[in-house]
């Protein structure tokens, strides 16, 4: 877990840093330490007989990376925005780096441990096994996804939009 | 050690590099390009005389009568799940050898030949395809285009090809 020691006068807190983004208008996040880079969208090369949520591959700094559409993985139908972003995530599966397409990157959020809530059985239709925690951001829930489980599992997930 | 003149040394280095290259025939399936090593390549044929095989068990293979032999032909659009599965007028059968036995690949179009350094191939990501990794040699980029290089021996080990030869279908 990414913990950033934040020192305020007289108080030391272990904070978790997560990267917040949007998919179909929902506030979602992944652990910031997993994010190697954020890239502008580029059209991936389609690979043969790929899983339904895989868009293909791109080349980045001499390596070939698989590209996963988080919209498709979360069962969101219809086209996304015209200029989505790629999050390059490390250590989330068999491949060293996986590119994940999200609608829009919002910002980094530092979460004090006491503000991170255990997920109820479902949030936005996503089952708790795919969630590491829930935080209130701007009066709305922000769901911190379990990146590894979401990408490794083939169980359907249906984001309620 | 021989002392070589600079020009001769450069020529020798060029020759060593040239021998390290391997030729691949490029072909198109759908909108993407793929490559097949020339090692097992025999012929490129028009897709005539293909006979469908009973489905099930066959889904991606057809049979081709060629010079008195009956051999399996993999319909690459079907194998790759590229829709629609019909063949365009540019379609050809690449006749190669997989696992030491004749094997045809029905592709959308045969393109040019390229030289590739086989020691510098990229790895196909595990998440990128549901096909067995043995079907691929690796990845290479040409003019900003990523090309998947196929492994004819891996294709020759696909269940349907093995069954074709086991049953003499």
The pLDDT tens digits for A67-120 are 999 999 999 998 888 889 999 999 998 999 999 999 999 999 999 989 999 999
Question: What sign has the CA pseudo-torsion A130, B133, B164, B108?
Answer: positive
Residue ranges and CATH numbers for the domains of chain A are 3-152 (2.40.50.180)
- Is residue B130 within 8 angstroms of chain A, CB to CB? yes
A68 interface with B at CB cutoff 8 Å: yes
Report percent pLDDT > 90 for chain A. 80
Q: How many CB pairs under 8 A join A and B?
A: 68
* Cα–Cα distance measured from residue B69 to residue A161, given in angstroms and rounded to the nearest whole number: 58
pLDDT band for B18, please (50, 70, 90 cuts): low
B162 has pLDDT over 90: yes
What is the reported pTM?
0.87
Question: For tokens 């007989």, what's the residue?
Answer: A49
Tokens (6 digits) for B36 = 């097949």
Q: Where are the alpha helices (DSSP H) in chain B?
A: 6-20, 76-79, 152-156, 159-167
Q: Smallest Cα–Cα separation from B79: which of A25, A129, B98? A: B98
Which residues from chain B sit within 8 angstroms of residue A57, using beta carbons? 124-125, 128, 139, 146
For A:10-39, CB contacts with B below 8 A are none
Top pLDDT among B140 and A3 is at B140
ipTM of the shown complex = 0.85
CATH of domain B22-167: 2.40.50.180
Beta bridge partners of B107: B92
Closest listed residue to residue B156, CA positions, set B126, B132, B129: B132
Distance CA B37, CA B137 (A): 9
């Amino acid at each position: 877990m990414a913990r950033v020691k934040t020192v305020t006068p007289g108080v030391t807190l272990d904070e978790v840093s997560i990267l917040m983004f949007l998919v179909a208008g929902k506030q979602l996040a992944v652990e910031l330490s997993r994010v190697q880079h954020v890239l502008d969208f580029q059209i991936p090369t389609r690979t043969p007989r790929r899983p339904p949520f895989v868009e293909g591959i791109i080349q980045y700094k001499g390596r070939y990376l698989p590209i996963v559409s988080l919209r498709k993985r979360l069962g969101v139908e219809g086209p996304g925005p015209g200029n989505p972003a790629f999050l390059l995530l490390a250590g989330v599966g068999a491949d060293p780096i996986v590119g994940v397409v999200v609608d829009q990157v919002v910002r980094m959020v530092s979460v004090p441990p006491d503000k991170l809530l255990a997920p109820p059985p479902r949030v936005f239709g996503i089952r708790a096994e795919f969630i590491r925690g829930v935080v209130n951001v701007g009066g709305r829930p922000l769901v911190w996804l379990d990146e590894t489980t979401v990408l490794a599992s083939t169980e359907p997930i249906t984001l309620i939009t | 050690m021989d002392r070589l003149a600079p020009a001769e040394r450069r020529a020798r280095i060029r020759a060593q590099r040239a021998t390290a290259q391997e030729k691949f025939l490029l072909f198109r399936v759908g909108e993407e390009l793929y490559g097949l090593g020339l090692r097992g390549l025999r012929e490129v044929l028009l897709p005539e005389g293909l006979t469908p095989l009973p489905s099930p068990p066959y889904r991606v293979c057809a049979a081709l009568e060629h010079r008195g032999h009956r051999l399996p032909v993999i319909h690459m659009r079907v194998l790759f799940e590229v829709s629609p599965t019909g063949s365009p007028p540019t379609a050809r059968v690449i006749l190669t050898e997989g696992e030491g036995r004749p094997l045809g690949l029905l592709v959308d179009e045969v393109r040019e030949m390229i030289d590739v350094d086989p020691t510098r191939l990229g790895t196909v990501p595990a998440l990128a395809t549901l096909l067995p990794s043995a079907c691929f040699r690796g990845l290479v980029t040409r003019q900003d285009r990523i090309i998947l290089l196929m492994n004819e021996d891996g294709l020759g080990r696909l269940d349907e090809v093995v069954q074709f030869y086991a049953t003499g279908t």
